Amino acid sequence: MTTIAVTGATDGIGRATARRLLAAGHRVLVHARSEERGRPVVDALAGDGGGEAVLVTGDLASLAEVRGLAEQIRDAGGTDVLIHNAGVWVRGAAPRLSADGIELTLAVNVLAPHLLTGLLAEDLAAREGARLLWLGSGMAAAGRPKPTALGGERGPRQAYADSKACDIALAMAWGRRLPTVASAAFDPGWVDTKLAGPGAPGSPDTSAETLAFCATEADLRQAPYWHDHAPTPVPGRLRDQGLQDAIAAVCDRMTGLAAPARS
């Protein structure tokens, strides 16, 4: 039984992916922001297929809670696949800063998955067939992340586009840092979720089908970016390894993570 951790698994694509993986008989670590938010979801998912649903919690807007989440995953026996699905698009009266005083979109969408990956890197590297999946977006093509100005002042739309560009870059940077782990990003398309809002043509179930495929069956070594069951082009400047590594290095500093030694 493969163990697969899915962040942001209480609704949308994350919940639909967890349901598919459970139906296929996998053990799924279902991440929620809190016990109160996650327990009803895990209870509802528990009867789906022959898999096992295990709740893990942590607010990704807090670096301390990301560290606590990593500890829970280790206590649960670790994971063979880590899916970075959770994300935010800051709107309206939502807070603009994280618990650590960092721009919230960067904190949740970029720094949290980077730190979680680093904290679990040693265990992942020791597992045969381990995988890392990062949620990209079609909006990443409009991203203009500057390593020297991550989290700087910008509108919500640009902040989101920049964060998704960073996620694609980090998928490739971590693929080099952990050569035994297959690391790739996934473009879910424009999907009708709380983040995207009404009017999106795609459904969480359709995106979850491809995400589950990437987590369990796809040969991720073929390409670093996937969409609709197939490789898809990486947006131009994100192919630059120098940019990828620079973004990862800044994330190391902002999270207090020591970069792993290259093998």
Catalytic residues: 160
* 47 CB neighbour count, 10 Å cutoff: 8
Residue 184's beta-bridge partner residues?
133
Structure tokens at 164: 């998704």
Classify the C-alpha dihedral 252-256-257-261 as positive or negative: positive
Structure tokens at 133: 């999946």
Largest CA distance in the chain: 47
What is the phi-psi region of residue 24: left when phi exceeds 0, alpha when psi lies from -120 to 50, beta otherwise?
A: alpha
CA proximity to 14, closest of 254, 204, 149, 147: 204
Residue 72: is it exposed, middle or buried by C-beta count within 10 angstroms (0-12/13-18/19+)?
middle
- d(CA 178, CA 132) in angstroms, rounded, equals 10
Residue with tokens 């297929």: 49
